[in-house]
Structure 1
Amino acid sequence: MKKKYAWLLALSLVLSMFLAACSGGGDKETADDSKDTADKPKVEQTLHFINGDTIPSMDPGMVTDEYGIQFTAAIMEGLYRLDESGKPTDGIATKHEVSEDGKTWTFTLREDAKWENGDPVTANDFVFAWRRAVDPNQGSEYGPYMMGGVIKNATAVNKGEVPVDQLGVKADGDFKLVVELENATPYFESLTTFPTFFPLNEKFVTEKGDTYATSADTLLSNGPFKFSNWTSTAQQWELVKNPTYWDAKTVKLEKMTYVVVKEAQTAVDLYEKGEVDRAGLSSDLVDQYSTHDDYTVEPDNSVFYIKFNQTRNKALANTNVRNALARAFDKQALVDEILNNGSIVANGLVPKDFVPTPDGKDFREASGDLMKYDLDEAKKYWEKALAELGTDSVEIEFLGGDNEVSKMMNQYLANQWTTNLPGLKVTLKEVPFEQRLELDTAMDYDMQFAGWGPDFLDPYTFMNLWLTGGGNNQMGYSNPEYDKLINETATTLALDPEKRFDNFLKAEKILFKDAAIAPVYQRAGALLVSPKVQGVFTNQFGATYEYKWASVGAEE
Structure 2
Amino acid sequence: MTRKSILLSALLSTTLVAGAYAADLPAGTDLAADQTFTYRVLDEFSSFDPQVVEDVEGANVVRDLFEGLYNQDADGNLVPGVALSHTVSDDNMTYTFTLRDNAKWSDGKPVTAGDFVYAWQRAVAPELASPYAWYMELMSIENASAIIAGEKPITDLAVEAPDDHTFVVHLSQPLPYFAKMVTHGTTFPSPKWAIEAHGSEWTRPGNIVSNGAYVLTEHVPKERSVRERNTMYWDNEHTVLDKVVTLVIGDDAQALTRYRAGEVEKTDIPAGQYPALAEEFPEEAYALPRLCNYYFTFNMSDTGPEAFKDVRVRQALSMSIDRNVIVDQVLQGGQFPAYTFTPAATAGFEVPDVAYAGMTQADRDKIAKELLAEAGYGEGGEPLSFTYLYNTSDAHQQVAIVASQMWKQKLGAEVTLENQEWKVFLENRGAQNFEMARGAWCGDYNEASTFLDLLTSPSGYNDGKYSNARVDELMTTAKSSQDTQPLYTEVEQILADEMPVVPVYHYSTNIMLKDSVEGWPINNVEQNWYSKDLYKVAGE
User: After TM superposition, is the score higher than 0.5?
Assistant: yes
In the TM superposition, what is the alpha-carbon distance from 1:67 to its structure 2 partner?
1.8
In the TM superposition, what is the alpha-carbon distance from 1:168 to its structure 2 partner?
0.7
2-structure distance, mates of 1:538, 1:126: 30
Alignment partner for residue 198 of structure 2, among 186, 192, 208?
A: 208
1-structure distance, mates of 2:378, 2:398: 33
1:541 to 1:336, Cα distance in 2 relative to 1, 3 A: closer
Is the 2:296–2:438 Cα contact (8 Å) retained in structure 1?
yes
Number of paired residues? Answer: 509
Please state whether the residue corresponding to 2:509 is helix, strand or coil: strand
- Structure 2 partner of 1:478: 467
Which structure 1 segments of 5+ residues have no match? 1-20, 29-40, 358-362
1:504 to 1:456, Cα distance in 2 relative to 1, 3 A: same
- Structure 1 partner of 2:60: 70
* CA deviation string 1:162-182 (max 9, x = no partner): 111110101101111111011
- Structure 1 partner of 2:401: 411
Structure 1-normalised TM-score? 0.87
* CA deviation string 1:2-50 (max 9, x = no partner): xxxxxxxxxxxxxxxxxxx9999x978xxxxxxxxxxxx8622111111
- Structure 2 partner of 1:266: 254
2-structure distance, mates of 1:80, 1:149: 15
- Structure 2 partner of 1:18: none
Give 1:240-389 correspondences, 5 Å limit. 240-292=228-280, 293=282, 294-311=284-301, 312-357=304-349, 363-364=350-351, 366-367=352-353, 371=357, 373=361, 374-386=364-376
Matched, 1:440 2:424: no
Give 1:1-40 correspondences, 5 Å limit. none
In the TM superposition, what is the alpha-carbon distance from 1:387 to its structure 2 partner?
6.2
Matched, 1:118 2:120: no
1-structure distance, mates of 2:400, 2:177: 36
In the TM superposition, what is the alpha-carbon distance from 1:408 to its structure 2 partner?
1.6
Alignment partner for residue 510 of structure 2, among 526, 530, 533?
A: 526
1-structure distance, mates of 2:80, 2:506: 31
Give 1:48-63 correspondences, 5 Å limit. 48-63=38-53
* CA deviation string 1:355-383 (max 9, x = no partner): 225xxxxx12x445655751111111111
* CA deviation string 1:395-440 (max 9, x = no partner): 2110012222222221111111121112x22111111111111111
**More displaced stretch, 216-225 vs 321-330:** 216-225
Corresponding letter in the other structure for 2:438: F
Alignment partner for residue 91 of structure 2, among 74, 82, 101?
A: 101
Is the 1:109–1:175 Cα contact (8 Å) retained in structure 2?
yes
* CA deviation string 1:485-530 (max 9, x = no partner): 111111xxx1x422x2211111110011001111101111333321
In the TM superposition, what is the alpha-carbon distance from 1:268 to its structure 2 partner?
1.9
1:267 to 1:196, Cα distance in 2 relative to 1, 3 A: same
* CA deviation string 1:73-98 (max 9, x = no partner): 11100111111221111111112111
Which structure 2 segments of 5+ residues have no match? 1-22
1:160 to 1:538, Cα distance in 2 relative to 1, 3 A: farther
Is the 1:70–1:543 Cα contact (8 Å) retained in structure 2?
no
1-structure distance, mates of 2:25, 2:273: 23
**More displaced stretch, 367-376 vs 336-345:** 367-376
Corresponding letter in the other structure for 1:92: V
Please state whether the residue corresponding to 1:186 is helix, strand or coil: coil
2-structure distance, mates of 1:442, 1:91: 36
Is the 2:96–2:167 Cα contact (8 Å) retained in structure 1?
yes
Of structures 1 and 2, the one with the larger relative CO (CA 8 A, separation 6+) is: 1
Please state whether the residue corresponding to 1:172 is helix, strand or coil: strand
Is the 1:539–1:545 Cα contact (8 Å) retained in structure 2?
no
Matched, 1:154 2:138: no
- Structure 2 partner of 1:497: 482
- Structure 2 partner of 1:536: 520
Is the 1:295–1:528 Cα contact (8 Å) retained in structure 2?
yes
- Structure 1 partner of 2:490: 506
1-structure distance, mates of 2:499, 2:526: 27
Corresponding letter in the other structure for 1:396: F
Is the 1:81–1:89 Cα contact (8 Å) retained in structure 2?
yes
Please state whether the residue corresponding to 1:315 is helix, strand or coil: helix
1:177 to 1:417, Cα distance in 2 relative to 1, 3 A: same
Matched, 1:144 2:129: no
* CA deviation string 1:268-311 (max 9, x = no partner): 21122111112322245334322123332222111101101112
In the TM superposition, what is the alpha-carbon distance from 1:262 to its structure 2 partner?
2.4
